[in-house]
Amino acid sequence: TLGFGMTTPATVAGKVFLIVYGLFGCAGTILFFNLFLERIISLLAFIMKACHERQLRRSGLLPSNFRRGPAMAGVGSLVGWKPSVYHVMLILGIFAITLSCCASAMYTAVEGWNYVDSLYYCFVTFSTIGFGDLVSSQNAAYQNQGLYRFGNFIFILMGVCCIYSLFNVISIVIKQVLNWVLKKFECRCCPKCHKSSTRLSRRNAITPGARLRRHNISVDADGQYDSDTEGRRLSGEMISMRELTASNKVSLAILQKQLSETANGYPRSVCINTRQNGFSAGVGALAIMNNRLAETSDSR
């Protein structure tokens, strides 16, 4: 993925082969980079954990004869301990700078570039940008050419792996910084914006505030609320009948009774003719419809 462009295929067969081979070659290279990242992170975590244990021994929090193994579970300060992403980023950055400085010294001595151009070449190459304005190993002959090409291969391979790992860690840090900035600039002064964001965040779910208000709502004998706003959801979300009755501590029977009495204008009583006509009383809106149908059938 460097793409210097100094050596390119000229025939149709070579271009077709490059497309097919590059498809699997680039995928395998990315897999190699990912595996390298996993191993380097594991190695750094092992080293940093050993340093952390040594620091705990010096501070007296760990016994001097402590060994890793079953006794690890008894040490609360080491259970689930993981290195900080900032420490990993710092170590990878130092390693990348050291590798670039060493490679730049080699390129300055062999290629005849100045040191700044060599550092520039190392970054462009290791980050796989590959401008192609500076390319190593382009002269016809070098002193100790075989050794130089082998060193160039090792430096490029290790540099690309190291910069790839560093970029992945930096992306995690950037994500954390962006989340922190978004929380700082969250619009809390505007209730309308806050309400719309709450509505879009979760739908068909009772908010934590509504769950807490359940214990503070009292219902009298007729099922009336002490406050009309206490049992209501302020987010404007759609809820089911079950969630509504659960959040307001109102039994389903009381709610059905209120619906029926409101529709009929009097307390509902089920007569014998209703059952004889084949219309069951039902509940809620179904009870209102059945009562109307029963009255119509009875009048006929």
Domain assignment present for residue 46? The answer is yes
- Of 226, 261, 255, 229, which Cα lies nearest the Cα of 241? 255
- CB contact at 8 A, 164 and 95: no
**Res 233: pLDDT:** 46
Domain assignment present for residue 74? The answer is no
Domain assignment present for residue 205? The answer is no
**Res 221: pLDDT:** 41
Domain assignment present for residue 132? The answer is yes
Other residues' Cβ atoms within 10 Å of the Cβ of residue 265: 7
Domain of 44: which CATH number? Answer: 1.10.287.70
CA–CA gap between residue 237 and residue 77 (Å, rounded): 44
- Of 166, 165, 172, 173, which Cα lies nearest the Cα of 33? 165
What's the whole-model pTM score?
Answer: 0.58
* Full DSSP string of 126-187: HTT----SS-SS-SS--TTHHHHHHHHHHHHHHHHHHHHHHHHHHHHHHHHHHHHHHHHT--
Other residues' Cβ atoms within 10 Å of the Cβ of residue 53: 19
| 88 has a pLDDT exceeding 60 | yes
Q: Is 277 helix (H, G, I), strand (E, B) or coil?
A: coil
How many domains is the chain partitioned into structurally? 1
Domain assignment present for residue 148? The answer is yes
Residue 82 DSSP symbol: -
Q: What mean pLDDT do residues 83-99 have?
A: 91
Residue 278 DSSP symbol: T
Other residues' Cβ atoms within 10 Å of the Cβ of residue 103: 24
Mean per-residue pLDDT of the chain: 74
**Res 48: pLDDT:** 86
Domain assignment present for residue 250? The answer is no
Domain assignment present for residue 140? The answer is yes
Domain assignment present for residue 118? The answer is yes
42-51, 75-84, 132-141: least confidently modelled range: 75-84
**Res 51: pLDDT:** 86
Residues spanned by the domain of 21: 12-59+84-188
